[in-house]
Structure 1
């Protein structure tokens, strides 16, 4: 029996027991069509951001135990008990969010994306999606498709802003203003070791927590149920938030340095506390969820890097194989840098709290924003470096990619 994890509230349930939502077709099979009804369950979950008119939605109903093909239904659909018209739209029984039609039919991997305000999470996701569909997708013979109207709409808007208008994404909405929808994608990859042997489809769920919420341990509790369900965590660290890095950067005419937000070591500590309290305690009290810690904006760190640093060029991805030797070279480089920056406070916190950590360095834009327009992308457009590395490591751990090199395990 297939078990589904809701990508909105992360409640687990049997796919066969999920309720359905009537689509309110103009003509009913049994007479009058259904009309909208108040869905207070959905509105309560969505919060104050849900306008009153949006609370009127198609009726939710439970499917009978045995569903046969009847007039007005099609394969994969269930007839509404009132109007008789078949609907394929399944909803979460806990939060009443609609689930994409094929979400319940395939494996899923939940990736939690965390980081303080201004760490570049929204820009990172937009560039990552583009790279997975272009350069990285070509290397691994993979494709990425947005699932559901919300993700498709957000992808389109953000791609137009970033790649056509050269505008950076707005900050993620904090939880106090309502729930931000997760981003859902279907990742298609060739099956490992079986040339021409078919395709494996995996759902990727990206949940982006606002920096304002991660700055406070009490507010962060709202996200615990999402984080505790994650198969992996990508934590973005803005090096320009670290005092020692800010002090060492040469004076330049670029964009102003960002305001200092929540210290990354505090975010890591709060994250570990919440996860341990919700059953993610592993060996020796460390959190068992693997975490990819990525230092962003490496384009700003040129003066602090060796000219031959592996952080300055993309991974090879030769033959569609994940190169774990390359990952370890990046990891050791970042470990050395973090041990030096701010007396290694963040590195020690990670080593004490997490059982499996890998360190990364990346640049989503490839160059700083223009000095006279800090909300814009570089005039040449995004030229990312290593944005895919954290996600590919998490996927390789789950056996979704062929791996060359050192292998799995704790790396810090």
Structure 2
């Protein structure tokens, strides 16, 4: 049985119990009845809050069915006008759901971080990489679901890749509801009758940095975070005092304003999730957390020449390389320890049961110093943007994992990881 999680209010339920919305179109079915008239949809309007205009409350009637009808199997006939409709809606908030969203299990990925950490840029580049370089490696495909995501997907890609402009800041929740981005990820799945495909709905919700400044603001996103299969916490190294002191002065674009610390954001998120029943062993949150150090291109002078953060993972054989992940984890952990005295790592170790560190660059090089809102003229050349998401997908069994093998080859790989750990420990944040 397929379980559907509403990407808007995060109510959970079986797909066959979703309601339908009438299209209000004329049809010759059942004697050519008159099309339905719009009706007040107070459930949807109340969920939207102040963003719903009075006239917008008038929408197609919502109705229940015991089973789906029609040749497609996913359509139902309106009991009043008889017209078949494919539009399914959430039984709780009455938000319209893309038809293909309801046909596979959902994986909600929570994307959080302080203001100016580059969340919107990260999502745009991540989607592009999943469609091209990473999609090729894993024989996967990614498609936007629903007209809203399809429109925004095109706009985001055009702004970043065609016009070479960085996206604007995500509006805070006080200015209106931030719609999620819905994608269908298709991956190969070997079955009894040959190779098949396995489909997963990915939901990206970009929370504005201003909404993560204190515990009261995080409360707006509690349902979203509690429903998440994994959380990606973006950490901007340029907002860490030690990094700002170490970087060569007068080089690159202006430094961003220092916002809420990642330690505080992590603590607030953990507190909210524990209160929502996501408590695991020893009281730690059970939701996997990927902590990603962003803008590694800006701290390249502080990285050792052999750093794995300077190159993309290879993804040989369409499998996630866990040995490579461990090497990256240890290096980022060591860098952060040198910059904040290990405060973030200790905070996460106390609050979360499953944490991994990553480092990435969405652009590959800094924006022009004279035009900090622009993308480098060469366009985005990302490094390791996919790693946090792929790791979260492995935690749900959606991707194969290549671990260190037993024997001489495996021991050699483990030795390289151990040497990397020791080198990072001696080098600290230099």
User: Does the pair score TM above 0.5?
Assistant: yes
Compute the displacement of 1:193 (Å).
Answer: 8.1
For residues 61-72 of structure 1, the aligned pairs below 5 Å read 61-63=63-65, 65-66=66-67, 69=70
Contact residue 28 and residue 34 of structure 1 kept, 8 A: no
For residues 37 and 388 of structure 1, what CA distance do their matches in structure 2 show? 44
For residues 323 and 43 of structure 1, what CA distance do their matches in structure 2 show? 46
| 3-state SS, counterpart of residue 13 of structure 1 | strand
Relative to structure 2, which stretch is displaced further, 269-278 or 96-105?
Answer: 96-105
| 3-state SS, counterpart of residue 187 of structure 1 | strand
Corresponding residue for residue 34 of structure 1: 36
Compute the displacement of 1:124 (Å).
Answer: 0.2
For residues 361 and 310 of structure 2, what CA distance do their matches in structure 1 show? 9
For residues 9-88 of structure 1, the aligned pairs below 5 Å read 9-27=9-27, 29=29, 30-63=32-65, 65-66=66-67, 69=70, 75-88=73-86
Relative to structure 2, which stretch is displaced further, 286-295 or 200-209?
Answer: 200-209
Change beyond 3 A, Cα 1:192–1:333: farther
Compute the displacement of 1:26 (Å).
Answer: 3.1
Contact residue 7 and residue 203 of structure 2 kept, 8 A: yes
Change beyond 3 A, Cα 1:138–1:45: same
For residues 111 and 220 of structure 1, what CA distance do their matches in structure 2 show? 16
For residues 139-150 of structure 1, the aligned pairs below 5 Å read 139-150=137-148
Compute the displacement of 1:28 (Å).
Answer: 6.1
> What's the RMSD between the two structures over aligned residues?
1.8
Corresponding residue for residue 195 of structure 2: 197
For residues 268 and 212 of structure 2, what CA distance do their matches in structure 1 show? 8
Question: In the alignment, does 2:395 pair up with 1:393?
Answer: no
Question: In the alignment, does 2:316 pair up with 1:311?
Answer: no
Contact residue 192 and residue 402 of structure 1 kept, 8 A: no
Corresponding residue for residue 331 of structure 1: 329
Corresponding residue for residue 409 of structure 2: none
| 3-state SS, counterpart of residue 299 of structure 1 | coil
For residues 36-185 of structure 1, the aligned pairs below 5 Å read 36-63=38-65, 65-66=66-67, 69=70, 75-185=73-183
Corresponding residue for residue 427 of structure 2: none
Relative to structure 2, which stretch is displaced further, 90-99 or 53-62?
Answer: 53-62
For residues 311 and 323 of structure 2, what CA distance do their matches in structure 1 show? 15
Compute the displacement of 1:226 (Å).
Answer: 0.8
For residues 129 and 403 of structure 2, what CA distance do their matches in structure 1 show? 23
For residues 137 and 300 of structure 1, what CA distance do their matches in structure 2 show? 27
Corresponding residue for residue 7 of structure 2: 7
Contact residue 186 and residue 200 of structure 2 kept, 8 A: yes
Stretches of structure 1 that go unaligned for 5 or more consecutive residues are none
Change beyond 3 A, Cα 1:67–1:256: closer
Corresponding residue for residue 252 of structure 1: 250
Runs of 4+ that moved beyond 6 A: none
Corresponding residue for residue 375 of structure 1: 373
For residues 146 and 252 of structure 2, what CA distance do their matches in structure 1 show? 39
Could you report, residue by residue, the CA deviation over 1:205-248 in whole angstroms, capped at 9, with x for unpaired residues?
11111111111211111110110011110110011111111111
Contact residue 77 and residue 87 of structure 1 kept, 8 A: yes
Contact residue 249 and residue 301 of structure 1 kept, 8 A: yes
For residues 244 and 101 of structure 1, what CA distance do their matches in structure 2 show? 49
For residues 35 and 372 of structure 1, what CA distance do their matches in structure 2 show? 56
**Structure 1 or 2: larger helix share?**
2
TM-score normalised by the chain length of structure 2? 0.91
Compute the displacement of 1:191 (Å).
Answer: 1.0
Which of 186, 189, 202 is the equivalent residue of 1:188?
Answer: 186
Could you report, residue by residue, the CA deviation over 1:33-60 in whole angstroms, capped at 9, with x for unpaired residues?
1122222211211222223333322111
| 3-state SS, counterpart of residue 207 of structure 1 | strand
For residues 254 and 69 of structure 2, what CA distance do their matches in structure 1 show? 64
TM-score normalised by the chain length of structure 1? 0.94
Which of 188, 208, 211 is the equivalent residue of 2:209?
Answer: 211
